[in-house]
């Protein structure tokens, strides 16, 4: 990795604004348009807001561990580097492989979300029946929209981070404007009476919504993945990461406030797209609902784009460390993007719509488990490095090591929620097959890399790369 010459390194072009919209846009996505009603029905209007406040606080704790480690080791791959320095090569492989499953699952999700949304704008566009998967009919016109979207995002990410960051800014502004219109309408045209009941099912209801929050907040972790493309002081990276989580929590709470003032609980139960129906009700016209859908499409694109960036950088970092085939660790000579890793994710994204909508839920649940496993390992790395390397230079230093311990417990608790016997357990066989299949594929690559490159090669490269640049007591060489 440290054999990077100037032709083989990323370009540092991302400003404060770019980094903030990259993370915030990745976190917002599309889920709020569909799920806001089910949150309110599960916990009540105030209960759902409290659940997101609670979830936001817990995600901020994990975010703080990320912030400290990112400012201390601002290298491409993020989690890959942190977990290596704390726990070695095998832990680094597991952690990065887990987060890649999370990223790829979101990319595939967005490739299926896009044609689903277009259906609301143009209800009769389903043409050319192809096949039925798990009870869901797949149509050629539906697949075409998902494939076209995938190709577009692949091209943007192939051509460089500058273009990807510019589009991220435009689409994030689109979401923000639509959100402001919703808040304005809810404040002046909504009714406080609609917000009742404030609580449903007490603590149990709040908890039912709180367990969904880490998956709504996933995206801030794209910042450390792109650390070598960020052109701001290292200390500032940590601050922006925390600000992005705070803004996402505020966004979700305000969306819940908006929809709960617009519709009664019964109206929400009947709505297929609660946020769009709320907007229509607040302004008394179908145009308002369509405007919100356009904001939702902007959310699909920001999330899609953000996870392409995160996923391709994580794959690139693993390939550079001789953990995956070397061709995935190449940068484009002109565009300075990990172009082969981008194309690989593009291939998976193009294939996703062919499997229909049921595949979506399976992917997201299996990917969610990958994400919380990575969070757990990053929080654990934070605690280990505080003990093992107390003198490591940490430009953004979090106050107490206890924040790390709480983040470890929190993320471990979320891992347990996916296991059999819990309310959010993965569904057998489909979701477990995806997760276990991914794990087996990882094991194959792990053994293949050790046989192909020698069992100590990854360790040698990582040691040279991480400790060579950010070894004990070393000042930065950015």
Q: How confident is the model at residue 2 (pLDDT cuts 50, 70, 90)?
A: very low
- Helical pair 202-210 and 31-43, crossing angle rounded to 10 deg: 160
Residues in the chain, total? 478
Instruction: Please say if the pLDDT value at position 384 is more than 70.
Output: yes
DSSP 229: G
pLDDT tens digits, 419-441: 888 766 777 888 899 999 999 99
DSSP letters of 163-228? HHHHHHHHHHHHHHHHHHHHHHHHHHH--GGGG--S-SSHHHHHHHHHTTHHHHHTTTTHHHHTGG
Superfamily of domain covering 7-71+99-363: Amino acid/polyamine transporter I (1.20.1740.10)
Q: Global pTM?
A: 0.89
Instruction: Please say if the pLDDT value at position 361 is more than 80.
Output: no
Instruction: Please say if the pLDDT value at position 474 is more than 80.
Output: no
Residue 195 vs residues 89, 272, 433: alpha-carbon distances, Å: 51, 19, 41
CA distance 69 to 198: 39
b/e burial code for range 229-265 (CB count within 10 A of at least 16 → b): bbebebeebbebbbbbbbbbbebbbbbbbbbbbbbbb
Instruction: Please say if the pLDDT value at position 283 is more than 90.
Output: yes
Q: Read off φ and ψ for residue 129, nearest 5 degrees.
A: -60, 130
Is the dihedral angle over the CA atoms 143, 158, 340, 469 positive or is it negative? Answer: negative
Supply the pLDDT for residue 4: 44
Do 291 and 279 touch, CB atoms closer than 8 A? Answer: yes
Q: How confident is the model at residue 472 (pLDDT cuts 50, 70, 90)?
A: low
The residue ranges of every structural domain in the chain are: 7-71+99-363
Do 398 and 68 touch, CB atoms closer than 8 A? Answer: yes
Please report which helix (H) or strand (E) contains residue 358, including its range.
Answer: helix 358-388
DSSP 476: P
Tokens, residue 147: 């494939």
Residue 18 vs residues 13, 166, 167, 168, 306: alpha-carbon distances, Å: 9, 8, 10, 8, 11
Supply the pLDDT for residue 471: 66
Which of these ranges, 3-7, 219-223, 377-381, 470-474, has the smallest mean pLDDT? 3-7
Q: How confident is the model at residue 478 (pLDDT cuts 50, 70, 90)?
A: very low
Nearest Cα neighbor of 236 from 24, 378, 396, 393 is 396
Instruction: Please say if the pLDDT value at position 154 is more than 70.
Output: yes
DSSP letters of 438-475? HHHHHHHHHHHHHHHH-TTHHHHHHIIIIIHHH-TTPP
DSSP letters of 108-160? HHHHHHHHHHHHHHSTT---SEEEEETTEEEEHHHHHHHHHHHHHHHHHHHS-
Supply the pLDDT for residue 119: 81
CA distance 275 to 272: 9
Tokens, residue 245: 């989580």
Do 281 and 164 touch, CB atoms closer than 8 A? Answer: no
Which of these ranges, 13-22, 103-112, 253-262, 294-303, has the smallest mean pLDDT? 103-112
Nearest Cα neighbor of 288 from 180, 182, 132 is 182
Supply the pLDDT for residue 424: 66
First to last CA, the chain: 14
Angle at 360 (CA atoms; ends 359, 366), nearest 5 degrees: 90
CA distance 249 to 210: 12
Rounded (10°) CA dihedral 61, 407, 468, 445: -120
Return the higher-pLDDT residue of 443 and 142. Answer: 443
Instruction: Please say if the pLDDT value at position 268 is more than 90.
Output: no
Supply the pLDDT for residue 153: 94
Do 318 and 163 touch, CB atoms closer than 8 A? Answer: no
Instruction: Please say if the pLDDT value at position 215 is more than 80.
Output: no
Supply the pLDDT for residue 1: 41
Instruction: Please say if the pLDDT value at position 177 is more than 80.
Output: yes
Is the dihedral angle over the CA atoms 381, 384, 389, 395 positive or is it negative? Answer: positive
Average pLDDT, the chain: 88
Going by C-beta distance under 8 Å and a sequence separation of 6 or more, which residues neighbour residue 427? 362, 365
Q: How confident is the model at residue 3 (pLDDT cuts 50, 70, 90)?
A: very low
Instruction: Please say if the pLDDT value at position 452 is more than 60.
Output: yes
pLDDT tens digits, 41-77: 889 999 999 999 988 888 899 999 999 999 999 998 8
The residue-averaged pLDDT of 15-35 equals 90
Supply the pLDDT for residue 423: 65
Q: How confident is the model at residue 353 (pLDDT cuts 50, 70, 90)?
A: confident
The residue-averaged pLDDT of 82-95 equals 94
Supply the pLDDT for residue 422: 74
Q: How confident is the model at residue 362 (pLDDT cuts 50, 70, 90)?
A: confident
Supply the pLDDT for residue 38: 85
DSSP letters of 32-68? HHHHHHHHHHHH-HHHHHHHHHHHHHHHHHHHHHHHH
């Amino acid at each position: 990795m440290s054999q990077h010459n100037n032709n083989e390194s990323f370009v540092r072009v991302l400003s404060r604004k770019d980094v903030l919209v990259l993370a915030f846009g990745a976190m917002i996505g599309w889920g709020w348009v569909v799920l806001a009603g089910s949150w309110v029905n599960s916990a009540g209007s105030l209960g759902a807001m409290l659940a997101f406040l609670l979830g936001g606080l817990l995600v901020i704790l994990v975010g703080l561990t990320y912030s400290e480690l990112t400012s201390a080791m601002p290298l491409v791959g993020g989690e890959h580097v942190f977990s290596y320095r704390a726990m070695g090569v095998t832990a680094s492989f597991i952690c990065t492989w887990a987060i890649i499953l999370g990223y790829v699952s979101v990319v595939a999700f967005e490739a299926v979300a896009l044609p689903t949304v277009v259906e609301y704008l143009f209800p009769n566009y389903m043409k050319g029946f192809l096949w039925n998967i798990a009870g869901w009919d797949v149509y050629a016109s539906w697949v075409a929209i998902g494939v076209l979207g995938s190709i577009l995002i692949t091209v943007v990410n192939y051509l460089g981070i500058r273009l990807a960051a510019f589009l991220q800014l435009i689409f994030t502004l689109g979401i923000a404007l639509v959100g402001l219109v919703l808040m304005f309408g809810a404040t002046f045209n909504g009714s406080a009476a609609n917000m009742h009941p404030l609580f449903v099912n007490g603590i149990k209801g709040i908890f039912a919504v709180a367990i969904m929050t880490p998956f709504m907040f996933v995206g801030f972790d794209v910042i450390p993945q792109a650390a070598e493309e960020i052109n701001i002081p290292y200390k500032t990276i940590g601050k922006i990461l925390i600000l992005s989580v705070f803004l996402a929590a505020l966004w979700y709470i305000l969306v819940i406030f908006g929809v709960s003032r617009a519709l009664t609980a019964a109206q929400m139960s009947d709505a297929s797209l609660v946020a769009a129906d709320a907007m229509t009700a607040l302004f008394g016209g179908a145009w308002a609902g369509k405007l919100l859908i356009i904001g939702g499409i902007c959310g699909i694109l920001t999330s899609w784009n953000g996870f392409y960036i995160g996923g391709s950088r994580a794959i690139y970092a693993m390939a550079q460390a001789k953990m995956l085939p070397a061709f995935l660790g190449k940068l484009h000579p002109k565009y300075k993007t990990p172009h082969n890793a981008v194309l690989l994710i593009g291939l998976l994204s193009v294939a996703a719509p062919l499997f229909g909508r049921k595949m979506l839920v399976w992917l997201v649940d299996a990917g969610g488990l990958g994400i919380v496993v990575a969070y757990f390992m990053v929080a654990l790395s934070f605690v280990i490095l505080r003990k093992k390397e107390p003198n490591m230079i940490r430009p953004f230093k979090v106050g107490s090591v206890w924040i790390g311990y709480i983040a470890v417990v929190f993320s471990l608790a979320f891992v347990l929620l996916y296991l059999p016997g819990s309310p959010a357990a993965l569904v057998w066989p489909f979701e477990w097959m995806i997760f276990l299949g991914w794990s087996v594929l990882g094991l194959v690559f792990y053994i293949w890399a050790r046989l192909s490159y020698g069992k100590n090669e990854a360790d040698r490269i990582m040691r040279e790369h991480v400790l060579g640049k950010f070894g004990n007591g070393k000042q930065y060489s950015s």
